[in-house]
Structure 1
Amino acid sequence: MLGLVGAALFFIAFLINAGNIGTNDVFTSTNLMLLGLTALALHMAGVGAGWRYRGRR
């Protein structure tokens, strides 16, 4: 799931960079790429991989 979030953030950062869209200092393409790298690193570390519903047996 975090891999998909990272890919979406990379895509949004690409659109901002390719379209030369002026944004404020917080919502820049570099910051979005860093958030995407963080999500990708968490995905590769296995965070969020073990979320399962445990019902009665």
Structure 2
Amino acid sequence: MLAIVSAVLFFIAFLINAADIATNDTFSSSNIMLIGLTLLALHLAGVGSGWSARGRRR
């Protein structure tokens, strides 16, 4: 889930950068890209993966 959100944020950052849209300092393309990288790192660390820590019992 976090990887999908980060991909959407990367796409939004790309659109802001490619279209030269004037935004304020909070929503600049580099800030959105950094939020996307943070979400991607959290996804790779296993934060959004659910309750799979116990494992399955048969």
Bin the TM-score by the shorter chain: 0.7 to 0.9
Structure 2 unmatched ranges of 5 or more: 53-58
Residue 55 of structure 1 aligns with which residue?
none
**% of aligned pairs identical?**
69
1:36 and 2:36 equivalent? yes
TM superposition outliers: structure 1 runs of 4+ over 4 Å: none
Instruction: Please name the residue that 2:17 is paired with.
Output: 17
CA distance in 1, matches of 2:8, 2:39: 10
Q: CA RMSD in A?
A: 1.2
TM-score, structure 2 as length reference: 0.85
Where does structure 1 lack aligned partners over 5 or more consecutive residues? 53-57
CA distance in 1, matches of 2:23, 2:29: 9
Question: TM-score, normalised on structure 1?
Answer: 0.87
